[in-house]
Amino acid sequence: MFKKSVLKVAVSAGVLALGGGVASAGNVEVLHWWTSGGEAAALNVLKDDLASKGVEWQDMPVAGGGGEAAMTALRARVTAGNAPTAVQMLGFDIRDWAAEGALANLDDVATSEGWDGVVPDALKAFSKYDGHWVAAPVNVHSTNWVWINKKALDAAGGKAPTNWDELIAVLDAMKANGITPLAHGGQAWQDATIFDAVVLSMGNDFYKASMIDLDEGALGGDKMVEVFNRMAKLRSYVDDNFSGRDWNLASAMVINGEAGMQMMGDWAKGEFLRADQVPGKDFVCIRFPGTQGSVTFNSDQFAMFKVSDPEAQQAQKLMASAVMSPVFQSAFNVVKGSVPARTDVPNDAFDDCGKKGMADLAEANANGSLFGSMAHGHAVPASIKNAMYDVVTAHFNGEYDATEAAAELVTAVADAK
């Protein structure tokens, strides 16, 4: 059982002045994994917003794009009775910590600001636990994107692929043109991100049956064998130096024209924007071919750990309120590449890819084709996700053929349940 005592946050005497002037409202120590250039730029939006409210930010960055290293650091801190004030979390990790009784109740601020009416139900499944708000969602990331260098696409025929056969034709043309067709980093969560998209491209019902319901027939059947065959085909377009490469370095390969495309969530757009790339001119954003109209998502959220000091609690509430402000949600997500966690934020400030992302999310939400991403902790608990990771990465690295991988997936999931 995790210790429930947490670090008592040092908070100065002042609170936010209601009359207009900003007095010191304390500080929050924040554990997160937003360490790439584009992510850091987006995080500064939140830091500046909190500073304007008198809340000082104490940074605790833990590098690692999927958040696994950050969660390991968090467990060590909590076990030592020294938890951070606020923690960036994903999906089932939030629910696990809430079940331990470690998270603060945010109902007061959520009720006064009407969060229930503006946050999609798919997100609230993780923002709330046992009927109570325990986390403030910052954004919605969708994971089934492809980012394509515009010059490389033009040289490969100029038509963005809409199905598997067209995708392979474009990748073949890029290879013939002498560039790496597919920029990729050999890390388990990145392998799983592509796997997620390939599974979704086989149909909504198949994604739900295999990645969410964990149906044994779907996990080990002919469609899953085909998924692994397609993963092996995609592996053939990756350069030899992919092992261990961070995702943002793969993005840089596309930005610099060394590679044709990257299959990655919409946080990659932040890297393109930071490099002064313009959607439609310098790069093209499309849904993974075959997944148009459907969205796999994750949502970065800030969970607040329990503190006993009333002034520390006030600083946490100010942070939660700041995170959920419509103005902040727009400003932050424009920079981050994601879309707002609120449904009432206008799209005026967003670029073409951002507008597409917001429209796709609304369509998927309305049509029942909005699914939590397995690769990013929103489809199944961490133990099952990690078991899937092992099989997907082992296959991607040539340890199994497609038939063996499908059989191993069934076994791994059964053992992890």
Interstrand relation of 128-129 and 132-133 (parallel, antiparallel or unpaired): antiparallel
Question: What span, in angstroms and rounded, lies between the C-alpha atoms of 388 and 281?
Answer: 37
285 Cβ contact list (under 8 Å, min separation 6): 145, 146, 147, 148, 266, 269, 279, 352, 353, 356
Find the DSSP H helices in 256-350.
268-274, 310-324, 326-336
Domains and CATH numbers, the chain: 26-141+298-355 (3.40.190.10), 144-296+366-416 (3.40.190.10)
Q: Decide: helix, strand or coil at residue 135.
A: strand
Question: What span, in angstroms and rounded, lies between the C-alpha atoms of 333 and 25?
Answer: 25
Q: CA nearest 200: which of 164, 247, 242, 159?
A: 164
pLDDT value, residue 27: 84
Q: CA nearest 135: which of 146, 124, 144?
A: 124
User: Hey, what long-range contacts does 330-334 have (CB within 8 A, 24 or more apart)?
Assistant: 331/45, 331/49, 332/42, 332/45, 332/46, 332/138, 332/139, 333/42, 333/139
DSSP state of 95: H
The answer to whether 187 and 376 are in contact (CB under 8 A) is: no
The answer to whether 333 and 139 are in contact (CB under 8 A) is: yes
**CA terminus-to-terminus distance, the chain:** 20
The answer to whether 23 and 52 are in contact (CB under 8 A) is: no
Helix (H) or strand (E) holding 126: helix 121-127
What does the pLDDT profile of the chain (417 residues) look like in tens digits? Answer: 333 333 222 222 222 222 333 345 678 899 999 988 888 888 888 899 889 888 889 999 998 877 889 999 999 999 898 889 899 999 999 999 999 999 999 999 999 999 999 998 899 999 999 999 999 999 999 999 999 999 999 999 999 999 999 999 999 999 999 999 999 999 999 999 999 999 999 999 999 999 999 999 999 999 999 999 999 999 999 999 999 999 999 999 999 999 999 999 999 998 999 999 999 999 999 999 999 999 999 999 999 999 888 878 888 999 999 999 999 999 989 988 899 999 999 999 999 999 999 999 989 988 999 999 999 999 999 899 999 999 999 999 999 999 999 999 999 999 999
Amino acid symbol at 331: A
Q: How many helices (H) and strands (E) does the chain have?
A: 18, 14
pLDDT value, residue 340: 96
Question: What span, in angstroms and rounded, lies between the C-alpha atoms of 415 and 392?
Answer: 16
Q: At what angle do helices 310-324 and 37-52 cross, to 10 degrees?
A: 120
User: Hey, what long-range contacts does 308-312 have (CB within 8 A, 24 or more apart)?
Assistant: 308/8, 309/8, 309/9, 309/11, 311/11, 311/13, 311/15, 311/26, 312/8, 312/9, 312/11, 312/26, 312/85
DSSP per-residue string spanning 167-180: HHHHHHHHHHTTSE
